[in-house]
Amino acid sequence: MRLINFAVILQQKFLLKPNNMKKGILSAIMILLSAVMAFSQNITVNGTVYSRIDDEPLIGATVMCQITQQGTATDIDGSFQLTVPEGATIKVSYVGY
């Protein structure tokens, strides 16, 4: 319903011909999507994961962003690097013995 109203407004205000209607709607959607993507700024988080017991770096711990569900594993030094949206929460998990 809203898409139809939006198309009618575009046709009335910008005098789009029916053949150009799809191009006009697609252009408007692309502009809106690019504006939304500009607001979602990403940051890179770097860190090292250490054990609580002996303060040794944890190899292979999983570091995951809870918003995007993207993650990484720590390297041999316990270090990681992950790109997340600004203000996101990251979760660290480790299965060890």
* Strands, E assignment, the chain: 42-48, 62-65, 71-73, 79-85, 90-93
The full set of domain ranges for the chain reads 2-39, 42-93
**CA separation for the pair 64, 82 (Å, rounded):** 8
Q: Can you tell me whether residue 55 is helix, strand or coil? A: coil
Residue 31, pLDDT > 70, answer yes
**pTM for this entry:** 0.58
**CA separation for the pair 76, 60 (Å, rounded):** 8
Residue 10, pLDDT > 80, answer no
**H or E segment to which residue 25 belongs:** helix 18-39
Residue 47, pLDDT > 50, answer yes
Residue 4, pLDDT > 60, answer no
Residue 28, pLDDT > 70, answer yes
